[in-house]
């Protein structure tokens, strides 16, 4: 029997089949097939399952993945964690206030999406909280990423502003929702799929950070049956893993474009003479925040070889 993995609870998976949803496990040796992740099976996987005499279903194989989003596992620095697979698009939910999402977090997510061929959209939630200064910063942030080529959408789960635009973008798509804890992913999904009633929590007043309400990734069918939303646990940081240092610049579209003008084909854009990227940063044609994020990923990928110059 074949099906779609729609939920991961840590101890078992829920697989949606033509005959209904089935709770499944994986056998121990399934983990030993060279898959360097904390979760060899992820939400979004197409799998084959079979039962045994005790009526326990097991996942026996995974179909080749079209793509996936992966990050460094929080508890095992050398291990990776697949967030979800076979995704049409990823919505990175961010907020300017309560909590504030850093550009480093945004850039690490976007670079990972580029690396694994997942189209990404930047969704700025909680715009109802912004004063004049906050709105100016929000506009500048959106302008930065729009000039690079990313679509941005401003929304409010509190007022409903922008929700109709999101609904249109979800049609016939499998869409991953990701972001820091507390940015309002669950609140937005509740608006997009009425009656779902995912748990939400207030942001900590003392630390201005979100409290986790989603524990494991889960896929939800849209009300009209035209697509799926994958809800994922909120994270504090987004650690990249398995990036080839020579290719990191490829995942920053504006840096990759300008790098064609560098004197050396293997330029790292750190210390080489004739570097077009460093010149573009100095002339503000590439933002300093994006360049800093690029350097931070290089440092993650090869800490003994690349060090930030500032």
Q: Which residues contact 104 (CB under 8 A, 6 or more apart)?
A: 289, 292, 293, 296
Q: 42 labelled as ligand-binding?
A: no
On whether 180 is known to bind a ligand per the annotation, the reply is: yes
Confirm whether residue 267 is marked as ligand binding.
Answer: yes
Residue 186 in marked binding region: yes
Q: Whole-angstrom Cα distance, residue 308 to residue 77?
A: 21
Residue 24, marked binder: no
Q: First vs last Cα of the chain: how many Å apart? A: 55
Q: Is 304 annotated as a binding residue?
A: no
125 annotated to a ligand binding site: yes
Residue 126 labeled ligand binder: yes
d(CA 153, CA 142): 8
* Dist. CA 101–CA 252, nearest whole Å: 19
Is 183 known to sit in a ligand binding site? yes
Does 184 carry a binding-site annotation? yes
- Confirm or deny that 262 is annotated as ligand binding: yes
Annotated binding site for GTP: 125-128, 179-187
| Binding residue positions for Zn(2+) | 262, 267, 269, 275
| Binding site per annotation, positions | 125-128, 179-187, 262, 267, 269, 275
């Amino acid at each position: 029997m074949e099906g779609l993995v729609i939920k991961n609870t840590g101890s078992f998976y829920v697989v949606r089949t033509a005959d209904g949803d089935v709770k499944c496990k994986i056998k121990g040796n399934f983990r030993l097939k060279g898959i360097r992740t904390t979760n060899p099976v992820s939400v979004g996987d197409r799998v084959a399952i079979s039962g045994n005499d005790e009526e326990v279903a097991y996942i026996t194989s995974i179909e080749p993945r079209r793509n996936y989003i992966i990050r460094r596992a929080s508890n095992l620095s050398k291990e990776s964690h697949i967030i979800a697979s076979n995704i049409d698009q990823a919505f990175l939910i961010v907020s300017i206030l309560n909590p504030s999402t850093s550009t480093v977090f945004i850039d690490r997510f976007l670079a990972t999406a580029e690396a694994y061929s997942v189209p990404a959209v930047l969704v700025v939630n909680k715009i109802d909280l912004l004063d004049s200064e906050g709105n100016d910063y929000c506009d500048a942030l959106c302008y930065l990423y729009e000039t690079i080529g990313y679509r941005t959408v401003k929304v409010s789960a509190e007022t409903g502003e922008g929700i109709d635009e999101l609904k249109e973008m979800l049609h016939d798509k499998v869409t991953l929702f990701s972001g820091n804890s507390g940015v309002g992913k669950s609140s937005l999904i509740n608006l997009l799929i009425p009656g779902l009633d995912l748990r939400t929590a207030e942001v900590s007043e003392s630390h201005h950070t979100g409290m986790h309400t989603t524990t494991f990734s889960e896929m939800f069918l849209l009300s009209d049956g035209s697509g799926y939303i994958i809800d994922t646990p909120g994270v504090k940081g987004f650690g990249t893993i398995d990036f080839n240092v020579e290719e990191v610049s490829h995942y920053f579209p504006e840096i990759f474009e300008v790098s064609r003008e560098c004197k050396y084909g293997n330029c790292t854009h750190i210390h080489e003479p004739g570097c077009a990227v460093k010149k573009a940063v100095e002339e503000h044609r590439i933002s300093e925040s994006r360049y800093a994020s690029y350097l931070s990923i290089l440092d993650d990928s090869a800490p003994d070889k690349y060090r930030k110059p500032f």
